[in-house]
Amino acid sequence: MGKPILYEILEKPATSCVIGMCTAIWLYIQKKNIGYSHVGLSYEAAIEGHYWRIITSAFSHISIIHLVFNMSALWSLGVVEQLGHMGLGTEFYLHYSLVLVVVSGVLVLGAYHVLIQKFKLEYFRRVTAVGYSCVVFGWMTILAVKQPSSKLNLFGFLSLPISFAPFESLIFTSIIVPQASFLGHLSGIISGYAIAWGLIHGMNNYWAVSMLGWIIFVFVLSLKRSGAFHFNFLEIESVTDLSLPSVRFASGNGRTLQMSSLPVVGVNLL
């Protein structure tokens, strides 16, 4: 028999808090009928100053299937919190979850910029990314490097060798979920390797608190400058339900916001 769920929650406090927060945000989004285009990350929104979307997009999910899949994988990866003897542990988890959210979001925008400016692929200008899987793929990669003998368990019945899980999952999700963000997931993998190989290092409580302070400052400032300071978008009607992976959205599928009048041409699940 496995451990009691309460015991596991106490062993993975940070993971449990993140899962609880993402679930609460999803419930709030459903209650308020908020569309993905109003919280997701897109290149066009970013160049208009909507930097706050790097944060809101990471913690928002557009369907229960999307939420359950990401949170199930995250729960399995919470073993990172139990590996303090390997230099990981709960503090490491909190510090570098913050890094993964920001760095993976910036990498997604950078990839969009290259595709748009260098390869003239205008489709990526308004593709909107939503979900926590950039961070999930980041932790998957870190664990693959630090603890290659581990297993990634999904939904209690699917088990993958963690050493191959990042790229297996990248290919698997891209095939079975056409809307899955290949670039978003890849950015999580790149960020994870940068942390695991020590290219990004030195995070401690001081730097984590400082980084969090700057994130809050930029978040609030960009909310104000983008015209979303009063959160008027919270009463906007939702777009079509995206529970089915094969659904694609055409241009102009959301309500016009006070803070943005840009159409959305697609959605990528992170």
Domains of the chain: 5-224 (1.20.1540.10)
Active-site hit among 16, 37, 72, 133: 133
Across residues 173-190, what is the average pLDDT?
91
Active-site hit among 185, 187, 191, 226: 185
Residue 183: the pLDDT is 95
Return the bridge partners of 266, or none: 127
Lowest mean pLDDT among 58-72, 161-175, 210-224, 256-270: 256-270
Q: How far apart are CA 50 and CA 45, in angstroms?
A: 5
Count of C-beta atoms within a 10 Å radius of residue 104: 29
Residue 227: the pLDDT is 79
Count of C-beta atoms within a 10 Å radius of residue 256: 11
The question of whether 63 is a catalytic residue gets the answer no
High-pLDDT (> 90) share of the chain, %? 64
Residue 264: the pLDDT is 53
pLDDT tens-digit map of 213-255: 999 999 999 998 887 755 444 433 333 444 433 333 333 333 3
pLDDT tens-digit map of 2-48: 678 888 899 999 999 999 999 999 999 999 999 888 999 999 999 99
Residue 247: the pLDDT is 34
Across residues 90-104, what is the average pLDDT?
98
Residue 162: the pLDDT is 86
Residue 156: the pLDDT is 57
Residue 62: the pLDDT is 86
Return the bridge partners of 269, or none: 130, 180
The question of whether 185 is a catalytic residue gets the answer yes
